[in-house]
């Protein structure tokens, strides 16, 4: 895809937003890297002026120097030659500490990989920059809440990154970048890990912040559609700026977003649910197992025992109990899983299989224990219960038998479930299609 030619007009640098104050000014900036392969001239005498309130996209092929330029703009790195003036202050040749101070006061960063702290809530992630500045707890919390609300995540403050979708994580990262109210936001491929719909969501947010709050944004992207949302597009090649054009008017990410059909109801619902810890917990547990499942298992056990017994009697002519037992267990698991598939419409969860195996085993053992006790089958070995130690031993033995039997059932249920729910290769997902 290319940029719509009618939307871009080349502008002399002198005409760019003459009415506004200059925020960034770099003059004849070069960056050389010395590596094993020799000298790499990542930036070659770049001149660039960015006014307050601009939304600039930097595009160019890989290796053209975009990240190098961003690192210098973000005071993460120093130019080898040339000057960098940020809001009237020369910052290019400052020491590490000096640059760190400028970074903290002036610049918010958003990266392709979100760079959020794992196992840390959205709120805590957003509080971090304020914590570094020594802002008191209460104010920290209030400001982080406001920043999250500004990116539409007021209801996700206590979620950790792994409970958030990619787009939501990037929005947390944007909230974190903005919590200190910096005049400049630098974003290096902020949508590089997102599908097109989510990319436009993030872009719409950036456009809104740029328009309503007046924050200056410099964004690196290799996607023309994303660059088209900026009001100015700078092309880089071989460490140089090869074109600098105004986008009039820029593409509205919100309008582009509206054009993309919403995700299918089911998958959208799923995504929402997967973000909700209560819903996640429910899904993990899977709810109660319908009563028809253990009934089907019992039927399967009887059928299996019958089949195994007949096989023994007719083919083998033996009275070995192993074959009917194994047949009973296998039929039991198979019919149980079939019934669960019919009733639940999805595979049983780990938790459901464990509950089923244990509950079924205990019920069966208790029932038959009572039955045998009641019938007082004479040749059943009588347990020696003459001392507390022996009673304890018998109990431990009983528990062990139950555990082993339940574990065997669990294993069979799991295997049967895998077979019953075996599927061809999963369909290509949106995320997979991205890469």
Give contact residues for ligand ADP (rule: CB under 6 A): 33, 35, 40, 42, 60, 62-68
**Which C-beta is closer to ligand ADP: that of 66 or that of 156?**
66
Question: What's the rounded Cα separation, in Å, for the pair 246 and 230?
Answer: 9
Question: What's the rounded Cα separation, in Å, for the pair 435 and 430?
Answer: 9
Question: What's the rounded Cα separation, in Å, for the pair 145 and 142?
Answer: 5
Q: How far is the CB of 69 from ligand ADP (least distance, A)?
A: 7
* Residue 51 interface partner, choices Mg ion, ligand ADP, none, CB cut-off 5-8 Å depending on type: none
Span between the terminal Cα atoms of the chain, in Å? 17
Encoding tokens for residue 241? 């700026």
- Which range in 17-25, 61-69, 268-276, 377-385 contacts Mg ion by CB under 5 A? 61-69
Q: What letter would DSSP give residue 214?
A: -
Pairing of the two strands 216-220 and 38-51: unpaired
**Which C-beta is closer to ligand ADP: that of 64 or that of 121?**
64
Nearest Cα neighbor of 65 from 220, 182, 193, 283 is 220
Q: What is the CA radius of gyration of the chain?
A: 33
Q: Give the torsion sign (CA, 353, 356, 359, 364).
A: negative
Among 8, 67, 180, 352, binds Mg ion (CB under 5 A): 67
Q: Is 232 helix (H, G, I), strand (E, B) or coil?
A: strand
**Which C-beta is closer to ligand ADP: that of 135 or that of 219?**
219
Q: How far is the CB of 281 from ligand ADP (least distance, A)?
A: 42
Nearest to Mg ion by Cβ — which residue?
67
The answer to whether residue 193 forms part of the interface with Mg ion (CB under 5 A) is: no
Q: How far is the CB of 3 from ligand ADP (least distance, A)?
A: 18
Q: Residue 252 in contact with residue 207, Cβ under 8 Å?
A: yes
Give residues with Cβ within 8 angstroms of 120, minimum separation 6.
Answer: 160, 161
* Residue 40 interface partner, choices ligand ADP, Mg ion, none, CB cut-off 5-8 Å depending on type: ligand ADP
Q: How far is the CB of 293 from ligand ADP (least distance, A)?
A: 56
**Which C-beta is closer to Mg ion: that of 221 or that of 349?**
221
**Which C-beta is closer to ligand ADP: that of 237 or that of 283?**
237
**Which C-beta is closer to ligand ADP: that of 47 or that of 351?**
47
* Residue 33 interface partner, choices ligand ADP, Mg ion, none, CB cut-off 5-8 Å depending on type: ligand ADP
Where along the sequence are the contacts to Mg ion (CB under 5 A)? 67
């Amino acid at each position: 895809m290319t940029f719509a030619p009618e939307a871009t007009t080349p502008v002399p640098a002198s005409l760019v937003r003459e009415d506004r104050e200059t925020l960034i000014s770099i003059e004849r900036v070069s960056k050389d890297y010395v590596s094993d392969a020799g000298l790499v001239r990542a930036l070659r005498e770049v001149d660039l002026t960015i006014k307050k309130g601009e939304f600039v996209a930097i595009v160019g092929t890989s290796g053209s120097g975009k990240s190098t330029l961003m690192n210098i703009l973000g005071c993460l790195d120093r130019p080898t030659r040339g000057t960098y003036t940020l809001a009237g202050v020369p910052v290019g040749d400052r020491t590490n500490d000096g640059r760190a101070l400028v970074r903290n006061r002036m610049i918010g960063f958003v990266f392709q990989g979100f760079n959020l702290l794992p196992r840390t809530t959205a709120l805590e992630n957003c509080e971090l920059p304020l914590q570094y500045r020594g802002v008191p707890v209460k104010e920290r919390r209030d400001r982080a809440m406001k920043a999250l609300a500004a990116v539409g995540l007021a209801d996700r403050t206590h979620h950790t990154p792994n409970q958030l979708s990619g787009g939501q994580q990037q929005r947390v990262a944007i909230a974190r970048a903005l919590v200190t109210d910096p005049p400049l936001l630098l974003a290096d491929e902020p949508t590089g890990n997102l599908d097109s719909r989510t990319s436009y969501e993030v872009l719409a947010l950036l456009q809104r912040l740029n328009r309503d709050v007046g924050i200056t944004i410099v964004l690196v992207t290799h996607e023309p559609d994303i660059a088209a949302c900026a009001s100015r597009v700078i092309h880089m090649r071989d460490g140089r700026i090869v074109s600098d054009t105004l986008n009039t008017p820029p593409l509205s990410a919100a309008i582009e977003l509206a054009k993309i059909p919403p995700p299918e109801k089911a998958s959208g619902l799923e995504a929402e649910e997967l973000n909700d810890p209560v819903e996640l917990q429910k899904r993990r547990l899977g709810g109660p197992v319908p009563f028809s499942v253990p009934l089907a298992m019992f039927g399967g056990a009887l059928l299996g025992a019958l089949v195994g017994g007949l096989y023994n009697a007719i083919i083998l002519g033996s009275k070995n109990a192993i074959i009917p037992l194994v047949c009973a267990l296998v039929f039991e698991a198979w019919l149980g899983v079939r019934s669960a598939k019919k009733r639940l419409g999805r595979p049983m969860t780990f938790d459901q299989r464990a509950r089923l195996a244990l509950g079924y085993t205990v019920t069966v053992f208790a029932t038959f224990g009572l039955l045998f006790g009641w019938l007082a089958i004479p040749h059943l070995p009588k347990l020696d219960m003459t001392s507390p130690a022996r009673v304890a031993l018998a109990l431990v033995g009983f528990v062990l038998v139950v555990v082993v039997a339940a574990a065997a059932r669990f294993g069979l249920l799991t295997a049967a479930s895998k077979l019953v729910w075996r599927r061809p290769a999963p369909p290509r997902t949106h995320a997979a299609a991205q890469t």
